[in-house]
Structure 1
């Protein structure tokens, strides 16, 4: 299940009736919600700018905000979504008071005001909530049941990308080229993953050919991949420099990804978003991107733990981030693994020796196993939701 599918399934209709109502008059136009696991985004649509002040940050089972300079009209109220059980907008002096009754213990992660833009003609006050793991106080307001991701019938799909290829040899060592060792490693990892029958595996290339970087991303997205791992060999001017590292998408790269995927008119269709409200779709895309980054970082940490446990040499700062093209998919968790420095004699020996390479890929496969077994993984979350009897 891709991150986008997971987010859309967990949504409780940003533009539907639950958690969404338009005021008949006044400056507070609407309250909308988007839920993604342990986080919920609250969007308050405003007819004009406002300053927000926190009255209650969640300690008593509710979050209360005062929005100065905007009137609530006849007010709004209704059921929430995710971490929010219900909401109410009332008048408080010259301000609007927004009260969110919490379904779980939560706190404000961040809040900010968005001016009109990106096709939206009004202001939006955004509040991001995150779960704290504590129980919310009892409430007399019944909580709407949230949708849960269904158990995925298929085995997880892993897309393995052998870096470079064809007329792009990549870095060169004393006796090998990067494109050769990445393909050999990809084939070894595929064989390792297919041993236990728990995964479906696809390669972006199976021979010495060049595949466009964006095509590699498209292969993973079109296949509805659960994980994308791009294999590379590093290079450095200092031949003593050695060790593996793992890259995940940087914040700057995440912004680039959003720009790439919203460039055309039909981006919401490609990402399977509702398409009825551009501002809602942008919120969904932002949530999807964030969920994907979180899962990518989660896998990177697990992978590095297994590499370190196998005594494979690591760079001193082994978890890095960058805006690399192969990491740009907003809905597929992805990492780029630099397996070592091909310009270092010891690392080159490990990368070109079949047995050493097989041991390395066994560690990577073990990391993948651990990632999909963790309670916070999308597969385990879906299974646990069904086991708990959620719809």
Structure 2
């Protein structure tokens, strides 16, 4: 959990992260620390990209100095450390800005990388992870994450994974013994499955996606299994299709749901246990660090889900009536995966005559699902995939 009072709203209280706000007299915006005596992280938030270099020897275990070329700092910045770091200092010496880390006992740099602005975060984040000086990192150390610099135009070049097809999981709501809502002439489960099949065909025509259905027949699939399918497939996007019902049958229009704050907390509790819900590479020995990683992952996932939800509404509005309040949040079970962007689309009210007629019309279904497919195209055209710690705030 992250500390309140310094990092701002929406952050849980715990002594896991310290932050030092910086006077905006240079390129350094904020310095933050987190972790413990097993692994400690320091994050330098910057207004610009940096190609940093370690200037001390690897054998030096009491301190490390990192040069930050082209970074300006109005005056020296310093602070107490935590975990393996005794104290830190960012200063300009002979026109060169340096980050100096003094260790408690012995320490060494495990990895360092730069994260560009993303998911509503406007700053660059230079991240340095420190481990004990006697730690064996020869096998565990991952491949370096490339440093991404801003080109002369000022636009950020961002790394993305385009070497494989995106994996889309389509969930046809209800099924089998669970019929869902009842319309005048149809069951919701049948309307949902027909739409899911149409969307699958539309996506597969492009050749850009691997499409997986949670069910392809009139069968019952429980809610945990639907989420499990998406996570086991390493899905890039999860779309659950439903048909609404309620009131006296006069209400009509489509809406879309993303995960609510209460659902986020529920998902975090599930992710803290081993099994289908746990996050990969999550340290099981430290509950505080584990929760930090979950929170960061969830933040990025929720932002992506919200972006996609808006795109869907923008695209289907050309053919489908929308509810006045059509962007909604709820703690729905199928949205709980902490690392898979997910939405639940209510395509219309099956107990409304006009909506039911539209939802049962193959031609309208083809148009509507084609618009959802185009929303998916736009979403991935703008999507940037980052290496590890993509959700770091």
Which secondary structure does the structure 2 equivalent of 1:378 belong to?
coil
Question: Is residue 364 of structure 2 the alignment partner of residue 356 of structure 1?
Answer: yes
* Structure 2 equivalent of residue 191 of structure 1: 201
Q: Report the alpha carbon displacement of residue 240 of structure 1 after superposing the two structures with TM.
A: 1.5
* Structure 1 equivalent of residue 353 of structure 2: 345
Structure 1 residues 206 and 299, CA, compared in 2 at 3 Å: closer, same or farther?
same
Q: Report the alpha carbon displacement of residue 88 of structure 1 after superposing the two structures with TM.
A: 3.9
Which secondary structure does the structure 2 equivalent of 1:339 belong to?
strand
Separation (CA, whole Å) in 1 of partners of 2:214 and 2:276: 24
Question: Is residue 253 of structure 2 the alignment partner of residue 243 of structure 1?
Answer: yes
Q: Report the alpha carbon displacement of residue 237 of structure 1 after superposing the two structures with TM.
A: 1.4
Structure 1 residues 335 and 358, CA, compared in 2 at 3 Å: closer, same or farther?
same
Which secondary structure does the structure 1 equivalent of 2:257 belong to?
strand
Question: Is residue 347 of structure 2 the alignment partner of residue 303 of structure 1?
Answer: no
Q: Which runs of 5+ in 1 are unaligned?
A: 1-30, 32-39, 67-76, 102-128, 137-143, 383-391
Separation (CA, whole Å) in 2 of partners of 1:311 and 1:370: 18
Question: Is residue 219 of structure 2 the alignment partner of residue 253 of structure 1?
Answer: no
Which secondary structure does the structure 1 equivalent of 2:243 belong to?
strand
Deviations 1:300-334 (A, max 9, x none): 011111011x2310000110000000000000000
Separation (CA, whole Å) in 2 of partners of 1:149 and 1:80: 20
Q: Report the alpha carbon displacement of residue 335 of structure 1 after superposing the two structures with TM.
A: 0.1
Question: Is residue 336 of structure 2 the alignment partner of residue 328 of structure 1?
Answer: yes
User: Among residues 56, 60, 75, which one is paired with 2:26 in the alignment?
Assistant: 60
Q: Report the alpha carbon displacement of residue 276 of structure 1 after superposing the two structures with TM.
A: 5.1
Which secondary structure does the structure 1 equivalent of 2:22 belong to?
strand
Q: Report the alpha carbon displacement of residue 154 of structure 1 after superposing the two structures with TM.
A: 1.3
Q: Which runs of 5+ in 2 are unaligned?
A: 4-10, 33-39, 51-65, 67-76, 92-118, 127-144, 149-157, 388-393
User: Among residues 384, 387, 391, which one is paired with 1:378 in the alignment?
Assistant: 384
Separation (CA, whole Å) in 2 of partners of 1:322 and 1:218: 19
* Structure 1 equivalent of residue 57 of structure 2: none
Q: Report the alpha carbon displacement of residue 45 of structure 1 after superposing the two structures with TM.
A: 4.9
Q: Report the alpha carbon displacement of residue 150 of structure 1 after superposing the two structures with TM.
A: 6.0
Which secondary structure does the structure 1 equivalent of 2:373 belong to?
helix
Structure 1 residues 278 and 168, CA, compared in 2 at 3 Å: closer, same or farther?
same
Task: Map 1:141-152 to 2 at 5 A.
Answer: 146=147, 151-152=161-162
Separation (CA, whole Å) in 2 of partners of 1:362 and 1:267: 32
Task: Map 1:1-391 to 2 at 5 A.
Answer: 45=16, 56=22, 58=24, 60-63=26-29, 80=43, 83=46, 88-90=78-80, 131-132=121-122, 146=147, 151-262=161-272, 264=273, 270-275=279-284, 277-308=286-317, 310-374=318-382, 377-379=383-385
2:301, 2:338 within 8 Å by CA — same for their partners in 1?
yes
Q: Report the alpha carbon displacement of residue 131 of structure 1 after superposing the two structures with TM.
A: 4.0
Structure 1 residues 158 and 60, CA, compared in 2 at 3 Å: closer, same or farther?
same
Higher relative contact order (CA 8 A, sep 6+): 1
1:89, 1:97 within 8 Å by CA — same for their partners in 2?
yes
1:268, 1:275 within 8 Å by CA — same for their partners in 2?
no
Separation (CA, whole Å) in 1 of partners of 2:45 and 2:31: 18
1:83, 1:131 within 8 Å by CA — same for their partners in 2?
no
1:64, 1:98 within 8 Å by CA — same for their partners in 2?
no
1:307, 1:363 within 8 Å by CA — same for their partners in 2?
yes
1:164, 1:210 within 8 Å by CA — same for their partners in 2?
yes
Separation (CA, whole Å) in 1 of partners of 2:30 and 2:232: 42
Structure 1 residues 275 and 55, CA, compared in 2 at 3 Å: closer, same or farther?
closer
